[in-house]
Structure 1
């Protein structure tokens, strides 16, 4: 790899980290804790949607708890004997990020089944199944992030946590799996399910304004996922090209180093955005009940007319 220093980029991103992480940490903790209180204490009964949203809040809280360590690591190097602790914190950070991604994709699938297949929804959708899906998400992302413990050289001396993975961490196999299974696959599921749900809601003959509100909320949820997570995964791919010496120009390397730091900061902002979306997602669930009744009624009428 060419000798290209990015110290000026690191100095700039240190200030950016504080400007973004501090308000995200304060508001994110308050909003997600409030959401958990509502879901666990105030709601009269659990539903599939509230289970998924509770899981998303837990993922967001787990990510938020890593931000103080990231801020500390931005200004201090860590001693070699803290390498295991650093790997553990890095693992939790990515567990939370990709756990959130898969939980959001699961919410989209659950919504798609409820809206597009109302008869099958009675058989497939249940609180038990939602709990099983959430547990499987935790198991999957924890297993998938376990290689992080091997991404650091054991004899590198003092190091910067959350930065500077060894070349193994930027191998082709790791990056392909991360991009494909960590982002592209759940993003494709989210887009397809959201588009199909929107089409069904728009095709409904009901002029209820709640239906239009549901369509807007789905669009908003789609944007809230793609806008923060797409840039950071593009940046990860570009950094892969740098670390494997496909990009050698120093200026481009510095731009990519800045891009990946900024995009990861933007991705962390979703901890607040998710909390603000809980209310609207719950509202969407309530508003689609009438649409579901209309869909069931329309399906029954169609079946009757074909007999």
Structure 2
């Protein structure tokens, strides 16, 4: 490299997925002030071969350390790309633009826009939700920042370079309606999509058929189960997630470490199905058990 020249620009995740299977792994920021296990997990995921670590924005409305702080630590101390979720729930328009400008200043350029779970699901059920914007509106406004235009229409003297993701929930009775909602997000400017975790081979195949004409890559969510209780909770209590009867029955037969092994086996089988139709994989770490998603990452890397 010549002296004084700009460093080579990293490929975006949508660019990477055009060439090879690309792996995003979610690792939730901690709910307490000890963040060392989180960084240990990020290191393990990088060593396993993950292409990015994604961090939710107070998922299930549970209060956690800011994903901006954790994303900055991941990039600076671990050396892996952070991908931050941005929820419409917690910030008004003033705070949303300030938040995005702050991410730009920190050099964090990959985000996933989500609506956000209602506060009644979390640890502060009396908190007031904001929802100044829909996720589609937020995507559109962030893409305006990429043109150097603020949410109010004021010139900003520079342009951001955000690669913007959209959430996609195929776990509905009417898959075509979910695809239509995703089409609106694409029209608003979404560069890629990340799905809720899927637990059924047939459902993955249906999603592949229903989305094959879309112009953006989709990262299909896979989450290893840790126990039958975990499976029941996800199926009955978490909005947007449904488990197949077969998966529930398999998890019901095991306990302890055997249950975790079964959960990992189920996840590997699902990954095999995803791999046949999608190059983007989104692994979701359960309960900070990053060794499970690290193992899945290594498994995927062996298939490249």
Normalising to structure 2: TM-score of the pair? 0.25
Normalising to structure 1: TM-score of the pair? 0.25
Q: Which has the higher strand share?
A: 2
Q: Which structure would you say has the larger Rg?
A: 1
Q: Which has the higher helix share?
A: 1
